[in-house]
Every structure is written in structure tokens, then in C-alpha cells.
Amino acid sequence: MLAKSVPILLVDDDQVDQELMRRKFRVANIDNSLFIANDGVEALNMLRNPESPLSQPCIILMDINLPRMNGFETLRMMREDPAMKRNIVFMLSTSSRQMDVLLAYDLNVAGYFYKKEMDSLVTILRIYCNSNEFGYA
């Protein structure tokens, strides 16, 4: 189990990618609670719900291409909300468009990862969760 058990929210509408991430976490022995949202609207509702077991700050793995509200729109809303702006967000995408990468960093993401590089992301998350001090209020 990781020393710092910060929850992780995966925001991705692709069920295959959701299951792949679950498996990668198991293989890497990442025991952090993993929550799933299928789109940006669902993610914001989970983060805003005071009854949610998803504490904040949390780590969010956000796909860009989502139904109802894409990852960038969701991230903009999070960054404007004082209760959510401290969440740590890593963008996930199949897009290598430089414009998407720059926009993600303009919105203060912690990293931009291509979905084909999920193994690298999982390795980084394991180290990050063990080494980082998360500021809980």
C-alpha cells in the first residue's frame, strides 16, 4: 500500500481504458481508491457532492475527448472553483496536437500523457503518491 493514500479519479468514457487502468494499478500494487467518471459532468458532480467518498485534493486522470463536457471544459470549471482548484490533474489523450498539449499546461495540469503510454503514467503515479506531500485542509 502506498504511504499517501490520495484518491484517484479516472475520467474516461471508454470502458476498455477504464478496465486497463484498473489492471495496471493492480499490477503496480497501487492500492489508492480509484473512482471512475464517464464524462466531465459526472466528474464535477462527484467532486462537488459533500456525500461523496472522493476526498479532495485528489489525483485526476482526465481524458480530453468526453461526451457532454470534454476534458478541457471540465478542467476549466475545476480551476475556477476554489474547492476544486487544488486537484492534481494529468491529461490523457490520443491527440499529439501541440495546441492540446499547450492548452493543458495553460490550465495547470501536472502532466500530459498519451494513452499508449499508460505504463509510464502508472510508474510516475506510484512514485508521486509515495513521495509527494498532499495538502489536506
CATH of the domain at 25: 3.40.50.2300
Has residue 2 been placed in a domain?
no
Q: How far is CA 110 from CA 45, 59, 60, 65, 113, in A?
A: 22, 10, 10, 18, 10
Among 45-49, 77-81, 91-95, where is mean pLDDT lowest? 91-95
Has residue 136 been placed in a domain?
no
Has residue 137 been placed in a domain?
no
* Average pLDDT of the chain to the nearest whole number: 89
Q: If you ran DSSP here, which 8-state letter would residue 83 be given?
A: T
Among 56-60, 61-65, 132-136, where is mean pLDDT lowest? 132-136
Residue 72 has pLDDT above 60, yes or no: yes
Has residue 41 been placed in a domain?
yes
Query: What residues make up the domain containing 54?
Result: 8-64+71-131
Has residue 3 been placed in a domain?
no
6 CB neighbour count, 10 Å cutoff: 20
Residue 104 has pLDDT above 50, yes or no: yes
- Number of domains into which the chain is organized: 1
Residue 135 has pLDDT above 80, yes or no: no
Contacts of 101 (CB under 8 A, 6+ apart): 112
Dmax (CA) of the chain: 38
Q: What is the pLDDT at residue 132?
A: 72
Q: What is the pLDDT at residue 68?
A: 93
